Amino acid sequence: MTERPVLIAGRNGQLARCLHDLAVLHSMPVVALGRAEFNLEAHGELRQTIDPLAPSVIINAAAYTAVDLAESEVARAFNINRDAAAALADVAWQMNIPFIHISTDYVFDGTKSEAYEESDVPAPLNVYGASKLAGEAAVLAAHPLATVIRTSWVYSPYGNNFVRTMLRLREAQPIVRVVHDQYGNPTSALDLASAILQLSGRLLTHDRRAMAGIFHLAGQGETTWHGFAEAIFDLLAHRGVRVPQLEAITSEQYQTAARRPRNSRLDSSRAERVLGIRLPSWRCSLETCLDQLVEGGIDAERNSAGWRQRNSTVSNHESGQQAATADL
């Protein structure tokens, strides 16, 4: 691996944090830039920030992820998810370095009865999904050899995600009501980060053309949001943690500003076939995540970075997209 650093766009989001932690663990030179040093909405300033760092690879793990708020902040969602992503990709293309961009299952409308493949026609239901789909096209136009990774239902011990939401609701309410008719692939941010760093190494040593384009990469296995919550509470109960009663509700009973796809399942077989990358079972990875949270204390992550992410619309991909009701 080159001594030039991997540059991570984003710093406080759960995927960005996992990328940074793993890179440091493996003695890989890495720089993660947050909003203080790296204003994604000032596209013209990106090159002057990146040039002195001389990165070997750029990983775009930053995005506007406030799914419901995006319905009323359309311009900002597109400015960050499309225009800023394209500007970053253009810088990487000018510097002749690999560019990895993170996208989402929300580019699909969820009407397909099977898992979505890369060849399926996108049809986003909400502004967030539309902005991410536009970002994919803009990135590939700016950097024809870019690798776009679509993932889904990302969780980790960090920040704002479904697992941490369930842990918070567990303490606050005797009954937790969760949607049971939306399907997807829960994805550990740590697993995803490991795969992305592995891919970044290959992009530096192999023909980038074979790894260019769009790939689906999500945890193995599928479930509903209710099934995900059930697995979380079952694992907590086995650890002696008190858990609430879990109640299944329909999407119609959980009204949000932005519509969510009923089917978010992604077929990751192309990533395994072409990239040689396959993520572990979401159930196994969930157990690892809960081990970290329980050992450190359920509320151990209430640090400044965690609170910044919960209150920011610019953070790691997929944060804040959980389908639990907020008023349980």
Nearest to 233 by CA among 249, 222, 246: 246
The half-sphere exposure of 125 on its side-chain side, counting CA atoms within 13 A, is 17
Strands (E), the chain: 6-9, 30-33, 57-60, 62-64, 99-104, 147-151, 154-155, 175-179, 183-184, 187-188, 213-216, 223-224, 245-249, 314-316
Give the angle 118-119-121 at the CA atoms, nearest 5°: 105
Q: Look at the block and give the residue holding tokens 């970053």.
A: 88
Residue found by looking up tokens 């599928």 in the block: 222
Q: For residue 320, what are the CA distances in angstroms to 63, 144, 160, 211, 310?
A: 12, 30, 6, 29, 8
On whether the CB atoms of residues 182 and 261 are closer than 8 A, the answer is yes
The pair of three-digit structure tokens given for residue 179, joined into one six-digit string: 């949607």
Q: What letter represents residue 295's amino acid?
A: E
Q: Which of 64, 106, 116, 128 is catalytic?
A: 128
User: Catalytic site residue 155?
Assistant: no
User: DSSP labels for 193-211?
Assistant: HHHHHHHHHHHHHS-GGGG
Report d(CA 184, CA 104) in Å as an integer.
Answer: 12
Q: How far apart are CA 203 and CA 198, in angstroms?
A: 9
Active site residues: 128
